Amino acid sequence: MAMSAEQAVEVLRAAGEPTRLRILALLAREELAVLELCRVLDQSQPRVSRHLKLLAEAGLVERFPDGAWVFYRLLTGREAGALVAQALALIDPADPVLLRDAERLDAVRAEREAEAGEYFARNAARWDEIRSLYVSEADVEAAILAAAGPGPFRRMIDLGTGAGRMLTLLGPHAERALGLDLSQQMLNIARSRVARAGLDRCELRHGDIFGTGLPGQSADLVVVHQVLHYLGDPAAALREAARLVAEGGRLLIVDFAPHALEFLREQHQHRRLGFSEAEMNRWLAEAGLAEIAAVELPPIRDGGLTVKIWSAVRPSARQRSAA
């Protein structure tokens, strides 16, 4: 539905201030925490928070608490968001202020990625041990097998494969399997594990979940296992994963329900403290997937983590036309 002239003026008024326009340009790149925006903008938290409040009231950004942190992201798919996108597209890419902001954001990202890389390198050899502190892996794996179905799968892709457990769990049901990860230490462990399992149809590559470079709709099973909570833009990673799902194929997302264990952020590089069902369902639907379902596995002890397994299917052209 189109906006009224009065609504358009309100949107433009909210965006029409230098700091708020800079914030919108940054959030167009990825969702960010308040303190990260303060670092990039070099402004105080109260000042940045006031600007964010005005943008949220105008329906341009979405605020969502995540444990002790608060994140913001652009609201897309609405007339106000489309108007802001058009305004940002008109700005000279060489604008010095926005270029400086982009460079500072890149520095924040690089710092975040360096810390994560050091963490993964330090803990790669005992990755399964760390995971087992929080959830019953046997129960999770049984639920993953049930959600994936019996196969056989023509091609399986495991994004952020880590130590390769999903390859050894699901690979026997796949004609071909591919695992991607950015950590060479993790890939080395995965190669050893896959070789010990005798899975000669499994390939391991160094690759980025945000830009895999793989052909679209090329796998009938795509798995993202305990990866999204580490990422700066989980929605973008999910879109790339969904892009790889063939018609009739399935995407499995395994991650945590919302929780308040801040030490996972402080000590284990978790960026997001879980995902709500509404948030995940929206992302999956926006990525063109259907038949969305979720299985919840409670923690093995009080104060632990609830694991959720989301599954969704890419409908065939016939199903889409029938709908």
Same domain, 260 and 175: yes
Q: Are residues 42 and 159 in the same domain?
A: no
Instruction: For the beta carbon of residue 322, count every other beta carbon within 10 angstroms.
Output: 8
Do 139 and 82 share a structural domain? Answer: no
Query: How many domains is the chain partitioned into structurally?
Result: 2
Q: Which residues contact 195 (CB under 8 A, 6 or more apart)?
A: none
Q: Which domain holds residue 17?
A: 5-91
Q: Is residue 158 part of a domain?
A: yes
Please state, in angstroms and as integers, the Cα–Cα distance from residue 180 to each residue in 9, 88, 213, 224, 295, following that order: 46, 34, 11, 10, 25
Integer-rounded Cα Rg, in Å, for the chain is 21
Residue 103 in any domain: the answer is no
Q: Which distant-in-sequence residues (6+ apart) come within 8 Å of 123 by Cβ? A: 130
pLDDT for 47: 94
What distance in Å separates the CA atoms of residue 308 and residue 266, rounded to the nearest whole number? 22
* Contacts of residue 272, Cβ cutoff 8 Å, sequence gap at least 6: 66, 71, 228, 229, 231, 234
Closest CA to 241 of 309, 180, 317, 188: 180
Predicted structure pTM score = 0.75
Verify that 312 and 205 share a domain, yes or no. yes
pLDDT at residue 73, rounded to an integer: 86
Distance CA 238, CA 209 (A): 9
Q: Which two tokens stand for residue 229?
A: 């909570």
- Reported as type and span, the H/E element at residue 158 is strand 153-159
The distance from CA 127 to its chain's CA centroid, rounded to whole angstroms, is 20
Residue range 103-117, pLDDT digits in tens: 999 898 888 777 766
Other Cβ atoms within 10 Å of 60 Cβ, number? 24
Instruction: Check whether residue 194 and residue 45 sit in a common domain.
Output: no
Asked whether residue 171 is domain-assigned, the answer is yes
3-state secondary structure of 316: coil
- Which residue ranges of the chain lie beneath pLDDT 50? none
Question: Tell me, what CATH number does 300's domain have?
Answer: 3.40.50.150
